[in-house]
Structure 1
């Protein structure tokens, strides 16, 4: 049956042998029938969350020159600031400005060969962040948040494995050493008529930036916009619930689980009667770039072959049109599929740093 609401999973139930089985049953249902869920009692300190929430309006109120200092077009790693309309989803401009950060890593990529082997271009996605010099307090706030969300992701993955009848560490070999974080502001839209209209905040998509996504909806509950697409083709609201994260499946996890756990299509719609910013913070649990489609499909084939019986479903309507190069086998490695997605979303950065592959990725439809 198609879901009509998003389940809430209380992670504190994992601590007791009496309540853990109930949590695992509820999590199994969310994994296999919804693809979206909330987690409560998640263990991330409230001060880490509140520090980041309080930093968002300060960050986005910085003057244009401070934002230009950390502009995304300075970074071959696609890290930094992008203005409203700078990113596209489903071929349309998204109405959001954002700053993208990641686990801090050195830039170790250079052209040419290393130990006789060609350096893989997607490895260039890894590298350092850009930090605004006019807001030095931001860095420790963001880095603390990334550390805590990385730890939450690890705790959650162990529960996911158990809910799918697997050893707790099963999914860890698929992870990258770099996870990504976006700080996002959706500004209010202006009403063009007396009737309420909607604008694309971010278009329909399945998350291609990670293994799992952990979303903090940082605006008051009355600021709506996030919706998930159910199996019947209906858009279901995902409202803000204080004290929770929204968690959803990424494309690579769908591949590894043979579609038993599907990445759910979702979007953000902005209403013309919205009178204040919508603020959100998605954290994308990273997948290692050298994960091949063959490895992703074959590693857990025997386990998920039995579970997959009866789950095969033809993608229809809006879901079938979602750009999903790794799911559909266009590229052999997760890293190349990820690079291609980044270039198509931020074409100015792609032209500047990836000219050799730009045309191929843009025109591969």
Structure 2
């Protein structure tokens, strides 16, 4: 598909497709390819879809939501015992105002962030590789087991999706999974408190996701997606679906066939929760347009980047405590760091006239 055709189809979309992945999980090779073709079409034409048939039991969903409510109901001083700035590997409690893709517009949500669990004696942890390490689980009885169970289930679905995206690009099903052994794949427990003063404004600023793709478990409506014409399209809420969107890494690997579509969350008065799992590849992976696609397209549309360094650079620019460490010279941006929002559909609109 040419870039102009891709842009036109992005401009045209007015709805988010729904894809049943049951056969990708349980079908034979031909059935898996049928689902993969649907994934590819959604990744090229929208960059987003709602996923059903994923097999994640409702009890896992309920357990995750219950524990999130318990955690966020604690006093602020208790939650701050696990403040994200206390840990080298960027996990823990994120208080309101800590995070903002645009530093002038801090997000007034709170979150608890965890990721792929690695022991303290893992070689990458011992080497102080950013974003890798053990999780700082809260001292809250009954919290860890259901949250970890949901993470494990969603992560395994993510591995299956990675295989489907490989098939959609004409590759072997396990081609991209070779780069997923101990990734910094982050699960965020996000709480939007009741806000009686909320008006029609953004809750999470417009952005693309940095990783390969995201598996989002929402509990309420409010998510919007930018089409190629710069219009915001609503993602209808349904409690049996996970919302999936393409991230920066798959856009680069696919040489632009797949698009990291910008999205945002609208600010509403109601209290609500949200649970994205950002599915990443291994930290040391060099992500570059796949040779097979470069040959088809005639040239590479992206320069290579190191997956972990890109993720870390974006994180530094998004979190207040890391920006402060950067200003003090305690940390440095990785070489070749990109500006937040420089990839994906939002980045293309930023390049054009305001």
Q: What band does the TM-score fall into relative to the shorter chain?
A: 0.7 to 0.9
Which among 299, 319, 332 is matched to residue 346 of structure 1?
319
Aligned position for 2:237: 240
Q: Distance in 1 between matches of 2:107 and 2:17?
A: 28
Query: How do 1:312-331 and structure 2 match up within 5 A?
Result: none
Aligned position for 2:274: 280
Aligned position for 2:188: 182
Which among 70, 74, 83 is matched to residue 86 of structure 2?
74
1:100 aligns with 2:113: yes
Aligned position for 1:5: 15
TM-score (norm. length: structure 1) = 0.80
Query: How do 1:86-235 and structure 2 match up within 5 A?
Result: 86-91=98-103, 92-108=105-121, 123-133=129-139, 135-178=140-183, 179-191=185-197, 197-208=199-210, 210-219=211-220, 224-235=221-232
- Give 1:215 shift: 0.2
User: Are the counterparts in 2 of residues 125 and 339 from structure 1 also a CA contact under 8 Å?
Assistant: yes
- SS, match of residue 130 in structure 2: helix
- SS, match of residue 24 in structure 1: helix
Task: Write out per-residue CA displacement over residues 286-330 of structure 1, whole angstroms, 9 at most, x where no aligned residue.
Answer: 22222235xx23xx2223542x48xx8xxxxxxxxxxxxxx677x
Q: Distance in 1 between matches of 2:63 and 2:201?
A: 30
- Give 1:284 shift: 1.1
Aligned position for 2:5: none
Q: Distance in 1 between matches of 2:312 and 2:98?
A: 17
Give the alignment's Cα RMSD to 1 decimal.
2.9
User: Are the counterparts in 2 of residues 351 and 358 from structure 1 also a CA contact under 8 Å?
Assistant: no
- Give 1:358 shift: 4.2
Q: Distance in 2 between matches of 1:109 and 1:349?
A: 24
User: Are the counterparts in 2 of residues 78 and 349 from structure 1 also a CA contact under 8 Å?
Assistant: no
Aligned position for 1:290: 284
- SS, match of residue 93 in structure 1: coil
Structure 2 residue runs of 5 or longer lacking an equivalent are 1-8, 340-354
Q: Distance in 1 between matches of 2:330 and 2:310?
A: 12
Task: Write out per-residue CA displacement over residues 178-203 of structure 1, whole angstroms, 9 at most, x where no aligned residue.
Answer: 321000011233337xxxx2233111
The count of residues paired between Structure 1 and Structure 2 equals 322
- Give 1:336 shift: 1.9
C-alpha spacing 1:176/1:211, structure 2 compared with 1 (3 Å): farther
Question: More deviation in 244-253 or 341-350?
Answer: 341-350
Which among 248, 252, 259 is matched to residue 251 of structure 1?
248
TM-score (norm. length: structure 2) = 0.82
- SS, match of residue 89 in structure 1: coil
User: Are the counterparts in 2 of residues 87 and 94 from structure 1 also a CA contact under 8 Å?
Assistant: yes
- SS, match of residue 15 in structure 2: coil
